[in-house]
Structure 1
């Protein structure tokens, strides 16, 4: 049966059902519910902005955006965002999705922790980040009605102290590859959770480069 949550029709196709099942089998409840909320916030933002977007692509992007935090999809040396993007690429390729659409989903996932850029890109990219920013940071919170917020969270609860525990999930997914946090917001996660973490400094890298001047 087609689900409608806060007025948003959740895509129901062989592709999206397979994506849902794969993510359900790979992620715990916290990340799964977070990913579903990200789709819904992104879709609601798209409706509010009057954007023409592909719900299936946005859905797959939302569902895969944190897959790089899971043991099954984490690489030893790539940013977790890239791991998730690569997993989505492999999945979509298996369903014969056209390359431009795959590239949009890849970019949406890869850039979802790089603020200031996705909002200027195509709708799949812009709306995925909008959904993440709403769910994790509460950005544009008041642009969503209380009824929308309540309906989304009734279907996919922010339980188990989501604020603290999502930070723990981020930390657990990246703590073994701290160099991947250079230049992105996840450096803040390790600064909070790993006492041994030392931030890389862009200016120190410039000044310490092998160039003589």
Structure 2
């Protein structure tokens, strides 16, 4: 797998088109499911418990030590939401790989792992290094790198490996309320109860604002110009 080492910010017209297309796909899932008489299955808490592996526990500890509580809980919700939306991908995911990518996907927003690049690539580098240092296979380490690198790649992530797609969907749900039609309402409520938001909206907006002020080539800069912070405010939970 080729590693993503550069992400040029999209132009405003291209980003607007990608966001419209993504929103249209999300909006259509509800009616299509209604016609097919499909129901989104409830996912119980035990399904999204932290995998019982030493590497998952070490990753959780590492993220907890360097992240504010609201950001840690966002990563845990992203893990849970992804498992709850696994019906959106065609292949079975590696649950341990998915947890590692989800729990570490915002490392680049922390002071410890912000090395001056666009945050998702800083985080991808840190996540891959964590994996290699703990003898996780290069193939899995590379996939985790790409999960982190592309978790905010609108119009791109959904075409990639299932773990990458699911993290993109899950983070988008938690940050901006995308894909609400693709999660069972009871599951959504229980995940938020288990991993409280803790003033997440204000915390995330502050982190993103700091990023684009310090990094002119931040991948998120055109998102902010198109009103992404307002979208965060309107998330219905």
- Shorter-chain TM-score range: 0.7 to 0.9
SS at match of 2:217: helix
Other-structure match for 2:215: 177
Higher relative contact order (CA 8 A, sep 6+): 2
Distance in 2 between the 1:112 and 1:175 partners? 21
Q: Deviations over 1:32-82 (max 9, x none)?
A: 000000111111111564630011111111111111011111112x21101
Out of 50, 57, 65, the residue aligned to residue 10 of structure 1 is: 50
1:91 and 2:126 aligned: no
Seen in structure 2, the aligned counterparts of structure 1 residues 19 and 190 have a Cα distance that, compared at 3 Å, is: farther
Change (3 A) 1:47 1:93: same
- Superposed CA RMSD in Å reads 2.1
Q: 1:72 to 1:191 in 2, by over 3 A?
A: farther
- After TM superposition, list the pairs within 5 Å mapping 1:202-213 onto structure 2: none
Cα distance in 1 for partners of 2:49, 2:196 equals 18
1:6 deviation in Å?
Answer: 6.6
- Between the aligned partners of 1:102 and 1:133, the Cα distance in structure 2 is 23
Post-superposition shift, 1:83? 0.5
Whole-angstrom CA distance in 2 between matches of 1:116 and 1:134: 15
TM-score with structure 1 setting the length: 0.79
Q: Deviation per CA, 1:134-168, whole angstroms, max 9, x where unpaired?
A: 111211112212210111001111232x2233111
The match for 2:9 is: none
Distance 1:7 1:85 in 2: 26
Instruction: Specify which of 182, 196, 203 is matched with residue 165 of structure 1.
Output: 203
SS of the counterpart of 2:101? helix
CA radius of gyration, larger in = 1
> How does 1:62-211 map onto structure 2 within 5 Å?
62-76=102-116, 78-160=117-199, 162-181=200-219, 185-189=220-224
Task: With the length of structure 2 as denominator, give the TM-score of the two structures.
Answer: 0.72
Residue by residue over 1:87-141, the C-alpha shift from the partner in whole angstroms, topping out at 9 and shown as x without a partner, is 1011000111111211111111111111111111111111111111111121111
Partner of 1:196: none
In 2, are the aligned partners of 1:74 and 1:80 still within 8 Å (CA)? yes
Name the CA shift for 1:54/1:177 in 2 (closer, same or farther; >3 Å): same
User: Residue 190 and residue 164 in structure 1: after superposition, are their counterparts in 2 closer, same or farther (change >3 A)?
Assistant: farther
The answer for unaligned runs of 5 or more in structure 2 is 1-43, 229-237
Structure 1, unmatched stretches of 5+, are 194-213
Asked if structure 2 preserves the Cα contact closer than 8 Å seen for 1:175 and 1:190, the reply is: no
Counterpart Cα distance in 2 of 1:191 and 1:16:
36
